[in-house]
Amino acid sequence: MRSRAFTLIELLVVIAIIAVLAALLLPTLVRSREKALTVVCMSNHKQLQLAWFTYAVDSHDELVPSGHDKIDAPLPGFTNDVWWVYGSMSRDPFWTNTAHIQAGLLWPYAKALGIYKCPADKKSERWPDHGGTLTVRSVTMNRFLNGFGKGSGPGRIYRKLADISTPSTRWVFLDEAPSTIASGYFGSYLPRTWSRMPAAYHSSGAGVLSFADGHAEAKKWTDPYVLGCNWTLNPAISADPNSADLKWLQERSTSPEGERGT
């Protein structure tokens, strides 16, 4: 019995059906991939959060130091490994060198390099162009958690775990925008002004944060200054008294009561 071959019209119909199905499925696949990246990022933050908490328990309730203004000049009497992480993501050779993560105080509690980098962060040594070795860190820490130096603005500096009376409303880690990430701490903004920006790597302009009670969440940013600097070399950052995002983050960074930034 002779087999029947496809006619050209039938073949074109099959191709057209496949194309339609692909067009219908592609957005779903993209959304699934984006959701998966967000889940992985949140898992990374939770692992860092557990390490942060364990360090405090092992250190008689003292929080791991978040950082200092001058990353290349530690405070007198301190060595380079005094902070939770060392090195800057604003320039080489720091941003592709994993040794600066491994020199940090949190490394013994979080010995997995992948959890320090958001899986959606594609910043590399050739940034803002693509290609080359990826940078090693996306994550930064709340400046008000046992931080030192100037630049944080008014607010309480938390030195011990017990000082944080509302841990569910105090963020510890967040992914910082590639255009502003530098040393290991974040929060050097004055009231109503952005100076360093959270990242918006995930779908609908979301960024991941973790909190002192151990939970992590994906925050959907709406401020154009946040969304606009995700891949911009020199983002336009300006005062915005009406920024709901800035107010939201400030309210979860520290309390205006008690000790002020030094």
Q: How confident is the model at residue 122 (pLDDT cuts 50, 70, 90)?
A: confident
Question: How many Cα neighbours within 13 Å face the side chain of 31?
Answer: 6
Pick left, alpha or beta for residue 132 (phi over 0 → left; psi -120 to 50 → alpha; otherwise beta). left
Per-residue pLDDT, 82:
75
* pLDDT of 94 above 80: no
| Average pLDDT of the segment spanning 190-219 | 87
Domain boundaries, the chain: 39-251
Cβ atoms of 67 and 185 within 8 Å: the answer is: yes
Out of 30-39, 67-76, 228-237, give the one with best mean pLDDT: 30-39
User: Does the reported pTM lie above 0.85?
Assistant: no
In degrees and rounded to multiples of 5, residue 152 shows phi and psi of -85, -15
* pLDDT of 80 above 50: no
For residue 7, the one-letter residue type is T
* pLDDT of 241 above 80: no
| Average pLDDT of the segment spanning 147-157 | 67
Q: What is the DSSP letter of 7?
A: P
CA dist 22 and 45 (Å) reads 34
pLDDT in tens, 155-197: 788 999 999 999 999 999 999 998 888 888 887 555 556 778 8
The distance from CA 243 to its chain's CA centroid, rounded to whole angstroms, is 20
Q: What is the residue-averaged pLDDT of the chain?
A: 79
Per-residue pLDDT, 151:
45
CA-closest candidate to residue 141, choices 259, 56, 58: 56
Per-residue pLDDT, 10:
66
Q: Which carries the bigger pLDDT value, residue 226 or residue 220?
A: 220
* pLDDT of 239 above 70: no
Q: Which carries the bigger pLDDT value, residue 86 or residue 128?
A: 86
Residue 11, judged by CB atoms within 10 A of its CB (0-12, 13-18, 19+), counts as exposed
Per-residue pLDDT, 15:
78
